[in-house]
Amino acid sequence: MNKEDKNIERCSWVNLKNEIYIYYHDNEWGVEKHDDNELFEMLILEGAQAGLAWETVLNKRYNYRIAFDNFDPKIVSNYDEQKYEELLQNKGIIRNRLKIRSAIRNAKVFIEIQKEFASFDSYIWAFVNGKPIVNSFTKENAPAKTELSDIISKDLKKRGMNFVGSTIIYAYMQSIGMVNDHEINCFKHKR
C-alpha cells in the first residue's frame, strides 16, 4: 500500500494536508515502542502537548530532538539553570516555563525508574503485561482516558513527575503502542 496515498481511509483526526502527520499516523502511532530513549521522547512530547494540538508538537519534533540532546534522559536530567534559560529562548520548541521545568524533572524520575526496574520499558509495559490492548473504537466513542491511564498517571505523579495527567498518559499509551486505538474504518485497524 502506498503510504502517501491520501485516498485510503485513516483515523478521522489525521490532517491529510500535513505529510508529517500522515507519516506519524501510518508508521508510529499505535506501534509498540520499547527503546527507553524513544519512550522518553514521547513522554516529553505528550507533556509538551498539554492544552495544544498534537500537530503543533509534531511539527516541532525535530527542533525538540536538537534542543533536548536526542531525548537522552541521562543528559536531560543533568540540565542546569543555564540550559533551562537557553531552552526558554528556543523559538523552535514550546516555550512554556512549567513544561520545560517538568521535562527536566521528569528526566530525573525517569532515571530513577530505570534504576528500579532495569529499564523504563519494563516498568511501563508491565501495566499491560507486555501485551498491547487492541480496541475497536470509532471517533464517536474513543475515550480520552481510562482506569488504567488513571493508575499509571497516579504512579508517575507519586514518583515526582508532572504533566502526566490521565489524559496525557492515555495519549502516551496510544503513541507507544500500549493501546491500539486506530478507528475501525482506518486501514491500520487490526482486524
Q: Which residues bind Zn ion (CB under 5 A)?
A: 11, 182, 186, 188
**Cβ proximity to Zn ion, 11 vs 93, nearer residue:** 11
State yes or no: is 46 an active-site residue. yes
Nearest to Zn ion of 99, 189 (CB atom): 189
Catalytic member of 21, 29, 54, 123: 54
Closest CA to 99 of 164, 47, 64: 47
Q: Which residues contact 16 (CB under 8 A, 6 or more apart)?
A: 6, 10, 22
- What is the C-alpha separation between 18 and 15, in angstroms, rounded? 6
User: How far apart are CB 14 and Zn ion at their closest, in Å?
Assistant: 7
Report in angstroms how near the CB of residue 58 gets to Zn ion at its nearest. Answer: 15
User: Which is nearer to Zn ion, 22 or 48 (by Cβ)?
Assistant: 22
All three cell numbers of 66 = 536538537
Using only C-alpha atoms, the chain has a radius of gyration, in whole angstroms, of 17
Instruction: Please give the grid coordinates belonging to residue 69.
Output: 540532546
Whose Cβ is closer to Zn ion: residue 11's or residue 109's?
11
| Nearest distance, CB of residue 182 and Zn ion, angstroms | 3
Q: Is 38 a catalytic site residue?
A: no
Measured CA to CA, the distance from residue 90 to residue 64 in angstroms comes to: 10
Amino acid identity, position 58: L
Q: How far is the CB of 183 from Zn ion (least distance, A)?
A: 6
Catalytically active residues are 24, 46, 54
